[in-house]
Amino acid sequence: MTLLQTAPSATAPSATSLEEAGLTLPDPDRAAGRRFDIRPAVRQKVSLLLGLAGPSGSGKTYSALRLAAGIARVAGGEVVVIDTENRRAQHYADQFKFQHIDFAPPYGPLDYLGALQTAERTRPACIVIDSLSHEHDGEGGTLDCVTAELDRLAGADTSLQQKLAAAAWRKPKAARRALLSGLLRVESHVIVCIRANERTRMAREAVATEPVELGLTPVAAPEILFELTCSALLKAGAHGVPTWSSQLQGEHGAIKLPRQFAEVFKDKKPLEESHGEQLARWAAGEALSTPLKRKHRRRTA
Ligand SMILES: Nc1ncnc2c1ncn2[C@@H]1O[C@H](COP(=O)(O)OP(=O)(O)O)[C@@H](O)[C@H]1O
Ligand SMILES: [Mg+2]
């Protein structure tokens, strides 16, 4: 391990410009100065945060259960489903083994956090949140919280409401950040199902009159979408077969396929248990570049 000390360099700002801004240059030799360690990078065990986005009937719930079953085989433990969909996940209770949390409104971010913490208590291999979309636009979800906050701050005064729009987001955003850090800290693997709706937007170009197709746009907090390890778009009638590329802007938010997983999903089959197994192996620190089949063959030879 090398301990690097911050030394003045060509890129360091001049002390005078910092002083003008009321700041002082950090002194690495003093106890109060920050020190940074530099070490060789290693793959560590991580928790997966997977997304499945699509319209109703595209295969979110069924695919989540198949992936979760595969993850549970590798990680060891149960699957817990947090179900906001009127207990619809239980339709598959005869095909998959899982614990079930019936999550009724309100759907505020802190309610989600409470459900997540309840699920986590049993130390499951995988938690499925079906669906995360209610956190955004469901009863008592973030958009409802913003409206309630706006009413509290500005009452019926519409011009005051416009002025206080940003202020009304402050509390709900803080609650959402708490949910996000809960999602990032949880030790179980997590799969979130997200509703996606066909959307359009008006063209910015003055001459264009036709609305621009955005495609299947996920209904969920952008900051949560940003943190997903991998996310599949399931189009209408996909029966669990994911789409991994799109020209449409709205669909970019639903698709995330990091390079290391391209091999896992190259088969273009419906999402299944073996995909979940491979993702869980990668999360445990295994390299995916070694084809699993060859490895097994060598072991049994
Ligand atoms: N990964 C999959 N493998 C096989 N069949 C699937 C898969 N995903 C979906 N299906 C089929 O599509 C149907 C609808 O899927 P479902 O998960 O209930 O949709 P959603 O949750 O998006 O409304 C399932 O009952 C199943 O028959
Ligand atoms: Mg469903």
Domains of the chain: 1-42 (no CATH), 49-284 (3.40.50)
32 CA distance to ligand 1 middle (Å): 57
Higher pLDDT, 207 or 44: 44
pLDDT band at 203 (very low <50, low <70, confident <90, very high): confident
Q: In the predicted model, what is the mean pLDDT of residues 76-89?
A: 98
Q: In the predicted model, what is the mean pLDDT of residues 260-278?
A: 96
Atom of ligand 1 nearest to the CA of 52: 22
Q: Give the pLDDT of residue 14.
A: 77
Q: Give the pLDDT of residue 27.
A: 72
Q: Give the pLDDT of residue 138.
A: 98
Higher pLDDT, 283 or 202: 283
The ligand with the least distance to the CA atom of 57 is 1
Q: In the predicted model, what is the mean pLDDT of residues 192-196?
A: 98
The ligand with the least distance to the CA atom of 58 is 1
Whether residue 5 is predicted with pLDDT greater than 70 in this model: the reply is no
Q: What percentage of the chain carries pLDDT values higher than 70?
A: 88
240 CA distance to ligand 1 middle (Å): 6
Ligand 1, atom 6, lies closest to the CA of 239
The per-residue pLDDT of the chain, averaged, comes to 91
Ligand 1, atom 12, lies closest to the CA of 239
Ligand 1, atom 16, lies closest to the CA of 59
Whether residue 223 is predicted with pLDDT greater than 60 in this model: the reply is yes
Mutate to test the pocket of ligand 1, among 62, 86, 132 (most ligand atoms within 8 A of CB): 62
Q: Give the pLDDT of residue 11.
A: 66
**132, two tokens:** 């995360």
Q: Give the pLDDT of residue 20.
A: 87
Global model pTM greater than 0.75 = yes
Ligand 1, atom 23, lies closest to the CA of 57
Contact in structure between 236 and 254 (CB atoms under 8 Å): no
- Please write down the long-range contacts of 21-26, taking CB distance under 8 Å and 24 or more positions apart: none
The ligand with the least distance to the CA atom of 130 is 2
Q: Give the pLDDT of residue 25.
A: 79
For strands 126-130 and 49-54, give the pairing. unpaired
Whether residue 294 is predicted with pLDDT greater than 80 in this model: the reply is no
DSSP assignment string, the chain: -EEE-----TTSPPHHHHHHTT-----TTSTTS--EEE----------EEEEEESTTSSHHHHHHHHHHHHHHHH-S-EEEEE-STTGGGGGTTTS--EEEE-PSP--HHHHHHHHHHHHTT--SEEEEE-SHHHHHSTTSHHHHHHHHHHHHHTT-HHHHHHTHHHHHHHHHHHHHHHHHHHHH-SSEEEEEEEEEEEEE--SSSS--SPEEEEEEE-S-HHHHHH-SEEEE--TT-TT--B---S-HHHHTT-B--GGGTTTTTT-PPP-HHHHHHHHHHHTT--SSS-HHHHHHHHH-
Q: In the predicted model, what is the mean pLDDT of residues 257-262?
A: 96
92 CA distance to ligand 2 middle (Å): 10
pLDDT band at 301 (very low <50, low <70, confident <90, very high): very low
Whether residue 283 is predicted with pLDDT greater than 90 in this model: the reply is yes
pLDDT band at 208 (very low <50, low <70, confident <90, very high): low
The ligand with the least distance to the CA atom of 53 is 1
Ligand 1 binding residues, C-beta < 6 A:
54, 56-63, 66, 239-240, 270-271
Q: Give the pLDDT of residue 227.
A: 98
Q: Give the pLDDT of residue 10.
A: 66
258 CA distance to ligand 1 middle (Å): 24
65 CA distance to ligand 2 middle (Å): 10
Q: In the predicted model, what is the mean pLDDT of residues 42-57?
A: 97
